[in-house]
Amino acid sequence: MKHLLHATIFLLLAGCSSKSKVTQGVTIIGGAPVDKGWTFEANPSWSDEFDYTGLPDATKWDYDIGGSGWGNNELQYYTNTINNAKVADGKLTITARKEVMGGREYTSARLVTRKKGDFLYGRFEIKAKLPAGKGTWPAIWMLPTDYVYGGWPKSGEIDIMEHVGYDLHKVHISTHTEAYNFKINTQKSASRMVETATTDFHVYRVDWTPYAVRGYIDNQFLFQHVNEGKGHATWPFDQKFHLLLNIAFGGDWGGAQGIDPSVLPVNMEVDYVRVYKMIDK
């Protein structure tokens, strides 16, 4: 009887170990997530083609405002004025200027889709031309809308494009989490030289699924952060995120080799922003 009981327990345990489970919306087999090969809808579910004139569309965009340094000792004051963010000639232009405001010597804009465009998974595609100049730090990125797992970096960050002016044309795609972030030098990141990043438009893209965040420049694969199935410390990307577009000036990274105020004003031009829904499986 005892031998039969032991055999039964063994079979039950063996059966459990071979079965899959579902966690954070992902099928997990043997402790690793499974890529279902998700695809995306052909037409965007959310977009701005910037085919109008004036301030950015208030139904789609809001602003982060102020000059607090934004956690990186940045030097600019972010405004919500047409002086720093305007739409004309089929594109959005974000401008960083040498201009005193709010106790800061520089102004810029940081546009956000928070509460107007919040997304869980999808394809995010932005066509943009970047500013040049020492001290400039443009970014196209994503932050969590509700910070379910706590403050940065616990709830995550997705950087679709970052560029610092002292390292001309080197474009970065990164993710940050509690376990993987630049403060402890463990961030997931990849970079590529884009020799015309500041003179021509290029397409910066992230495909975000329950399995991975994958990054592309001009449709060429560059970056991947795979869900390890170990919880939100390594994968907080199962909550809604929103988009941000901005130019910072100076700061811990942008100003790491000094700044050159004579380069201002500088622009980041955005031809379009498109978000495509993931087709669930």
Q: Which of 16, 80, 39, 12 is nearest to 279 (CA)?
A: 39
3-state secondary structure of 18: helix
Pick the catalytic residue: 74, 125, 157, 269? 157
Amino acid sitting at position 69: G
Residue 11 token pair:
């079979």
CB 180 within 8 A of CB 162: no
Q: How far is 243 from 141, CA to CA, in rounded Å?
A: 6
Determine how many CB atoms are found less than 10 A away from the CB of residue 118: 16
Peptide bond into 153 cis (omega under 30): yes
Q: How far is 177 from 156, CA to CA, in rounded Å?
A: 5
Pick the catalytic residue: 125, 162, 178, 269? 162
CB 172 within 8 A of CB 159: yes
Active-site residue 157, yes or no?
Answer: yes
CB 49 within 8 A of CB 280: no
Peptide bond into 138 cis (omega under 30): no
Active-site residue 162, yes or no?
Answer: yes
Q: How far is 95 from 108, CA to CA, in rounded Å?
A: 6
Residues forming a β-bridge with 203: 127
DSSP 37-55: --EE-SS-SEEE---S-BS
Peptide bond into 210 cis (omega under 30): no
Catalytic residue set = 157, 162
